[in-house]
């Protein structure tokens, strides 16, 4: 077993554990959150016609610049109809609606806020001026037929759904959903709705990790709680391993006598890929793999450690395994003072300072999950950190 000395090496080992998930065709309405696995190509020009951008009057520009202020409204051109023609008589205008096809013979739009109208007579206000082509979205000015508008590897969100819909994609090719379980361990943990007795606390990690996974596009997530007792813990883990592609366990993975998860996973035949990373928080993290089966992430039980490890390792791995086109994490400048551990990479909670930079928002310890409320994510500070240099920045989920 190789124990990586850096988070970068840990991520490298994790990413190599699975190939890309298979694809499936899904109705566009069901594709949100999935990873797109096809190109989406424009099946027409964008826009597909000279599109009017304001309610108003379609007129000839040269008449306006020639000094004409009065126009006669000789008809209308509502949205959804084919192209009409502006009558040839001087001062002719057509009432036009946003989204309509520009009438033949017209080359500018007078917004309705620019004129006064009575019956069929419209008078342009003296202070109004107009440019040729004003308020006209020309055909093909955004994209042309055949342009690739979306490429494989992006997560399908509202923008992607809109583009695919505009291209007539009632169904799209996306990655199959990974089957994911999040399990919490510990005799001291009770359900959220229970009242803890002395020595007990409510189980927060399972809810927090599941929320981050769902907000990042993964789900449904199966959840569960397991005690620190070998038979029940073994039964729960084995059952979960047979039904899931990824199992996230929080708690029970360190080196203490009651940290039973590593030994039980070894009994099941799972190979230990790593156990321990030179980082704070989250140093006890481990990863196991069943050949041809699931990947198991063993995250520490301390809430801050668990969430940091999920965001640093689990979410990027799921994105890659789902066919996502991976970009390196954004880099930001950190301003402010903070304490640094010797020989360990520091994952430091931060908040945005309003100038595009980040400020330290440290918590009291890795159990102080309430202290994360004012933070937006964390930065990764290794031994090479130099003040004023951009450093990797991770938000609490991918959204």
pLDDT per position as a tens digit, 169-221? 999 999 999 999 999 998 888 888 889 899 888 889 999 999 999 999 998 99
Predicted confidence at residue 354, as pLDDT, reads 80
Neighbour tally for 216: CB within 10 Å: 21
CATH of domain 7-26+177-321: 3.40.980.10
Report the C-alpha gap between 280 and 235 in whole angstroms.
31
* Residue carrying the six token digits 């606390």: 201
Report if pTM > 0.75: yes
Q: Which CATH class is domain 331-395?
A: mainly beta
Residue 359 in contact with residue 336, Cβ under 8 Å?
yes
Tens-place pLDDT, residues 1-30: 455 579 999 999 999 999 999 999 999 999
CATH topology for the 51-137 domain: Molybdopterin biosynthesis moeA protein; domain 3 (2.170.190)
Q: Which H or E element spans position 317?
A: helix 315-321
Neighbour tally for 370: CB within 10 Å: 11
Tens-place pLDDT, residues 264-291: 999 999 999 999 999 999 999 999 999 9
Mean pLDDT of the region 217-233? 93
CATH topology for the 27-46+142-175 domain: Molybdopterin biosynthesis moea protein, domain 2 (3.90.105)
Nearest by Cα to 103 from 123, 86, 127, 119? 86
Report the C-alpha gap between 125 and 23 in whole angstroms.
59
Residue 39 in contact with residue 151, Cβ under 8 Å?
yes
Return residue ranges of the chain for CATH 2.170.190.11. Answer: 51-137
């Amino acid at each position: 077993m190789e124990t990586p000395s850096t988070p970068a090496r840990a991520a490298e080992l994790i990413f190599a554990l699975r190939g890309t998930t298979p694809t499936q065709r899904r109705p566009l309405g069901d594709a949100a959150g999935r990873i797109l696995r096809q190109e989406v190509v424009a099946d027409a020009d964008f826009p597909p016609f000279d599109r009017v951008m304001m309610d108003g009057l379609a007129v000839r520009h040269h008449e306006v610049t020639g000094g004409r202020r009065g126009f006669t409204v000789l008809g209308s051109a509502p949205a959804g109809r084919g192209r009409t023609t502006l009558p040839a008589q001087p001062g002719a205008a057509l009432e036009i609606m946003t989204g309509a096809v520009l009438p033949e013979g017209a080359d500018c739009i007078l917004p309705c806020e620019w004129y006064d109208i009575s019956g069929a007579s419209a008078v342009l206000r003296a202070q109004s001026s107009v440019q040729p082509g004003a308020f006209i979205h020309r055909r093909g000015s955004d994209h042309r037929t055949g342009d690739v508008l979306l490429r494989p590897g992006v997560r399908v969100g509202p923008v992607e759904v809109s583009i695919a819909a505009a291209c007539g994609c009632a169904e799209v090719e996306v990655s199959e959903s990974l089957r994911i379980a999040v399990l919490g361990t510990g005799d001291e943990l009770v359900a959220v709705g229970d009242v803890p007795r002395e020595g007990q606390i409510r189980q927060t990690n399972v809810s927090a990790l599941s929320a981050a996974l769902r907000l990042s596009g993964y789900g449904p997530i199966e959840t569960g709680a397991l005690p620190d007792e070998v038979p029940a813990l073994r039964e729960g883990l084995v059952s979960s391993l047979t039904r899931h592609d990824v199992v996230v366990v929080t708690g029970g993975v360190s080196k203490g006598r009651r940290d039973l998860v590593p030994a039980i996973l070894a009994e099941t035949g799972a190979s230990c890929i790593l156990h321990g990373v030179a980082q704070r928080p989250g140093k006890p993290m481990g990863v196991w793999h069943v050949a041809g089966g699931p990947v198991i992430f063993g995250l520490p039980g301390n809430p801050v450690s668990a969430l940091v490890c999920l965001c640093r390792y689990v979410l990027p791995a799921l994105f890659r395994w789902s066919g996502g086109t991976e970009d390196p994490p954004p880099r930001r400048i950190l301003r402010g003072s903070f304490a640094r551990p010797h020989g360990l990479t520091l994952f430091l909670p931060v908040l945005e300072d309003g100038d595009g930079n980040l400020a330290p928002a440290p918590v009291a310890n890795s159990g102080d999950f309430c202290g994360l409320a004012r933070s937006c994510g964390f930065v990764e500070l290794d031994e090479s950190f130099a003040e004023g240099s951009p450093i990797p920045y991770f938000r609490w989920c991918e959204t």
